[in-house]
Amino acid sequence: MALSQERSACLGLWVLLLLGAGMEEVVEGCSCHPAHPQQLFCSAEIVIRAKISGEKIVSPSNSSSPYMKMIQYEIKMIKMFKGFNKAKDIQYVYTPVFSSLCGVKLDSNNKAGYLLSGSMWSDGRISIGQCDLVESWDNLSLSQKKNLNYRYQMGCECRINTCYTVPCASTGEHECLWTDWLLDNSLNGEQARQYACIRRSDTTCGWYRGGPPPEKDFLDLADP
């Protein structure tokens, strides 16, 4: 919502703990590296489809700071795409109350459906944030929904390199060039919505689209 394939990092330094003074101070806002949906999928520990059925504010028992408060979303999990070895059934997900701490606001009034990705804390709770793959299910393209089942996972060993300027050249056979920003001035363009970078049988990586041909060519387009 990282240039690194391993993790889309939240760059915001959430909370500075001034332990000596016994104070907590927010020092920066939330900032995320641009990342293709597949990168966010691959870096997440948990990826699920769920409906939001309720929410409430919770605080750690050892802190009275408002900045430590979390929104606890009650969910009904519909399908799990990733994380089978970590969780069987997920009833709640957590996010910071403040957007400046990368918290996300979800619609809990209409039992809206979402694609949720995040990480698991040591106590088993699931954390989601702005730098994760969190999107209304209805806003996803058909290709994205299909790619969640297996194509994104097929390409997790591939590297997706974001192109901001020309020239933008591939640095190896195990890389896909993401050119949405160059072609559409957007990070939610054709490649993000329709394509997955997958490893082919010869171990090289290339973009794959399981549907009609694209309206425009990409700088690094090769169907397996």
% of the chain beyond a pLDDT of 70: 78
How many of the other CB atoms lie within 10 Å of CB of 20? 6
Give me 122's structure tokens.
């040591």
Residue ranges per structural domain of the chain: 37-136, 142-209
Which residue's entry shows tokens 């994380």? 83
Query: Mean pLDDT, to the nearest integer, of 14-40?
Result: 62
Phi first, then psi: what are they for 152, rounded to 5°?
Answer: -60, -45
Name every residue whose Cβ is closer than 8 Å to that of residue 70 and which is 6 or more positions away in sequence. 57, 58, 59, 94, 95, 96, 97
- Name which CATH class applies to 142-209: alpha beta
126 φψ region: left (φ > 0), alpha (ψ -120 to 50), beta (else): beta
pLDDT of res. 200: 92
Distance in angstroms (rounded) separating the CA atoms of residues 177 and 184: 14
| DSSP letter, residue 164 | -
Express each pLDDT in 89-101 by its tens digit.
899 999 999 999 9
Strands 126-127 and 92-96, by their bridges, are parallel
| DSSP letter, residue 67 | G
30 is in an annotated binding site: yes
Can you name the CATH fold of 37-136?
A: OB fold (Dihydrolipoamide Acetyltransferase, E2P) (2.40.50)
Express each pLDDT in 114-162 by its tens digit.
999 999 999 899 999 999 999 999 999 999 999 999 999 999 999 999 9
